[in-house]
Amino acid sequence: MNLRLKSYVAIQRIKNSISISGCIGKDLLFEYNDDNIALLNSLSTEAGICPDKLINCHLFQQLKENALLEETPTKELKRNEAYYQYANIDFNKIREKRILVLGAGAAGGTITYLLVQQGFTNIMCVDDDKVEVGDVEKTMVYNISDIGKYKVVALWQRVMSNFNIDIKQQRNRLSTASQVRKIIKSYSPDIVVYAIDPAPSFKLVLNQLCIRLNVPIIHASYSYEKILCGPCVVPHQTACMVGYNEYWRKRTNNTFDFYDISKISSSRLVHPSISFNINTLSSIVLKDIIFCLSGNFEIVSTFNRLLIINLLTSDISVNELSCKFCSTCEAKRTIDGI
Ligand SMILES: [Zn+2]
């Protein structure tokens, strides 16, 4: 079987060296000489070369050890596929994972769109709002012709026409434990994406359900100039939202507690959200969903962490969470289901 360079391997000359990119976190350097260039040229061809006579070749062995070679014939990769191969992920293993997105607003709608664009095929989106002018101004998901339609309907139409993927849609204004319990038990998601903004205590209600059913949940929100990515709560492996609540209590000298907060709504309230906040948030969450579903927790930015990013000042704070003496986390071992 012949071998050739993988399609994403890039080669450059830097003075008297050859720099080869394609390994995560490092470039390989070799001497620039005629033999090495001839070998790389041969390895760059469609047919590749027979490896039998290259056992003692340092350059060849290094390329092989760093997984930069592939057997021929191998079908050419699309850009997304090449990225997953580079990142050591078998996307086909996670393509059909069940993803429940709560919320089809700016963040939830964008995340859902990005998930389908990546190739995920099994998504349910829950929301009960209609598309307004503001949704068209701050997202790329909704068009002016969508104004007045239910968001889940407009979103379904958009991904159906762009990608021919039939996402499940449910019109529901989630606010009670029984509503979300019913959805989670009937859909059996592999991960829940939390992109809604109900009463703060609802986070803890959902947290308890997901811990008991062993379903990871990732949170996405934004507030004024900040985006809040995560935390990604993986039952049995990370702190849960009780730890998140503890984090805010400590940060605010016990004044901020999800159990004690209720919204005093104003009909004139307009969150000053903007597309670069929403798109940054959605992209980070998308990336973490992919790596969470593939089990690569070490590169999930929000795994047990809350990332607060201020896009006005470029400040990024990474906040590790912990759950000490947490009854919700402990209960997971004794309660089977809800
Ligand atoms: Zn906990």
Residue 183 domain flag: yes
Q: Ligand 1 center to residue 233 CA distance, Å?
A: 9
| Domain CATH code at residue 100 | 3.40.50.720
Instruction: Assign 3-class secondary structure to the chain.
Output: CCEEECCCCEEEEECCEEEEEEECCEEEEEECCHHHHHHHHHHCCCCCECHHHHCCCHHHHHHHHCCCEEECCCCCCCHHHHHHHHCCCCHHHCCCCCEEEECCCHHHHHHHHHHHHHCCCCEEEEECCECCHHHHHHCCCCCHHHCCCEHHHHHHHHHHHHHCCCCEEEECCCCCHHHHHHHHHHHCCCEEEECCCCCCHHHHHHHHHHHHHCCCEEEEEEECCEEEEEEEECCCCCCCHHHHHHHHHHHCCCCCCCCCCCCCCCCCCCCCCCHHHHHHHHHHHHHHHHHHHCCCHHHCCCECEEEEEECCCCEEEEEECCCCCCHHHHHCCCCCCC
- For residue 333, report the distance from its CA to the centre of ligand 1, in Å: 12
C-alpha atoms less than 13 angstroms from C-alpha of 329 in its C-beta half-sphere: 17
Region of residue 148 (phi > 0: left; psi between -120 and 50: alpha; otherwise: beta): left
Domain-terminating residue out of 18, 44, 77: 77
Q: How many CB atoms lie within 10 A of CB 213?
A: 19
Residue 287 lies in a domain: yes
Alpha-carbon Rg for the chain, nearest whole angstrom, is 24
115 and 212 belong to one structural domain: yes
Query: Would residue 286 count as lying in a domain?
Result: yes
Same domain, 60 and 205: no
Distance 335 CA to ligand 1 centre (A): 14
Distance (Å) from CA 246 to ligand 1 centroid = 10
Q: Are residues 159 and 254 in the same domain?
A: yes
The half-sphere exposure of 236 on its side-chain side, counting CA atoms within 13 A, is 7
Å from CA of 211 to ligand 1 middle: 8
Structure-token pair, residue 259: 């159990």
How far is 38 from 56, CA to CA, in rounded Å? 16
Q: How many Å apart are CA 120 and CA 100, to the nearest integer?
A: 12
Examine residue 336 and state whether it is found in any structural domain, yes or no. Answer: no
The pLDDT value recorded for residue 148 is 97
Rounded CA separation 90/5 (Å): 19
CA 242 vs. chain centroid, Å, equals: 22
Quote the pLDDT of residue 248. Answer: 87
Looking at residue 76, its pLDDT comes to 75
Instruction: Clarify whether residues 182 and 286 are in a common domain.
Output: yes
pLDDT of residue 332: 52
In a domain, 337, yes or no: no
Of 53, 77, 101, the domain-final residue: 77
Q: List CB-based neighbours of ion ligand 1 within 5 Å.
A: 240, 242, 323, 326, 328-329
Q: Is 112:87 a contact under the CB 8 Å cutoff? A: no
Number of domains present in the structure of the chain: 2
Q: What is the CATH number of the domain that holds 15?
A: 3.90.930
Both 46 and 125 in a single domain?
Answer: no
pLDDT at 6: 93
Ligand 1 centroid–CA 321 distance in Å is: 10
Cα–ligand 1 centroid distance for 307 (angstroms): 18
Domain that holds residue 157: 91-331
In this structure, the answer to whether residues 27 and 52 fall within a common structural domain is yes
**In-domain check, residue 227:** yes
What's the gap in Å between 208 CA and the centre of ligand 1?
Answer: 9
315 CA → ligand 1 middle, Å: 28
For residue 157, what are the CA distances in angstroms to 132, 141, 152, 177? Answer: 16, 10, 9, 29
Q: How far is the CA of 125 from the centre of ligand 1 (A)?
A: 26
Any domain includes 84: no
Amino acid at 203: K
For residues 210 and 171, state if they share a domain: yes
Residue 213 Cα to ligand 1 middle (Å):
14
pLDDT in tens, the chain (338 residues): 899 999 999 999 999 999 999 999 899 999 999 999 999 999 999 999 999 988 889 999 999 999 999 998 777 777 788 899 899 899 999 999 999 999 999 999 999 999 999 999 999 999 999 999 999 999 999 999 999 999 999 999 999 999 999 999 999 888 788 888 999 999 999 999 999 987 778 888 899 999 999 999 999 999 889 999 999 999 989 999 999 988 888 888 888 887 777 777 677 777 788 999 999 999 999 999 999 999 999 999 999 999 999 999 999 999 999 998 888 888 755 444 44
How many angstroms does the Cα of residue 331 sit away from the middle of ligand 1? 9
Task: Indicate whether 58 and 134 sit together in one domain.
Answer: no
Q: Kindly give the distance from the C-alpha atom of residue 62 to the centroid of ligand 1, in angstroms, as a whole number.
A: 45
Per-residue pLDDT, 1: 86
> pLDDT value at position 77?
76
Answer yes or no: do 119 and 268 share one domain.
yes
What is the whole-number distance in angstroms between the Cα of residue 177 and the centre of ligand 1? 18
The whole-number pLDDT of residue 264 equals 74
Provide the pLDDT for residue 75: 78
The confidence score (pLDDT) of residue 335 equals 47
The reply to whether 11 and 139 lie within a common domain is no
Query: Which among 153, 102, 115 has a CA at the least distance from the CA of 131?
Result: 153
Model confidence, pTM: 0.88
Q: Which of 46, 77, 108 is the last residue of a domain?
A: 77
Residue 174 CA, ligand 1 centroid: distance in Å: 23
Q: What separation in Å is there between the alpha carbon of 311 and the centre of ligand 1?
A: 30
Within a domain: 184 = yes
Q: Are residues 34 and 157 in the same domain?
A: no
CA of 327 to the centre of ligand 1 (A): 7
Same domain (yes/no): 69, 130? no
